[in-house]
Amino acid sequence: MKLWAEKFYSGKLWRDCRESYMITKHGICERCSEIAKVVHHKIYLTPSNINDPFITLAHDNLEALCQDCHNQEHHGRPKADLRYIWNEAGEIVYAPLKIPW
């Protein structure tokens, strides 16, 4: 999670919104019908819109996704092809499986 978004994602408003949205979708991924794990923002959050409730908390900007569909959305490939590493800024990021450990 990006530092500028930590306060939002750890706050009660987001937790309540996420839970209520997931209930409306019965915990099912809206793309593949697997079990949803992530409530995704269709308009990606940025430092300039993180305080706009019409983007951050509006159900019409949300989508229930399984982890694989969320990874596909953000990284263009499914979870099975990825591993996590730390980048130079100390953030956890995806890396191709072929990176030597």
- 66-96 pLDDT, tens digit per residue, is 999 998 888 875 555 556 667 777 777 766 5
Confidence of residue 100 (pLDDT cuts 50, 70, 90): very low
Where are the alpha helices (H) located in 31-90, listed in sequence order? 53-56, 67-75
Q: For 3-75, which CATH class? A: alpha beta
Three-state SS for 39? strand
At residue 92, the pLDDT reads 74
Residues in the chain: 101
Q: Report the pLDDT averaged over residues 8-36.
A: 96
Q: What is the mean pLDDT of residues 52-71?
A: 95
- The answer to whether the beta carbons of residues 99 and 85 sit under 8 Å apart is yes
User: In this predicted structure, what is the pLDDT of residue 91?
Assistant: 77
Q: Looking at residues 30-52, what average pLDDT do you find?
A: 95
Q: What angle do CA 70, 9, 88 make, to 5 degrees?
A: 70
Break the chain into its structural domains and give their ranges: 3-75
Residue 101 has a pLDDT of: 39
Reading the block at residue 11, the tokens are 């706050």
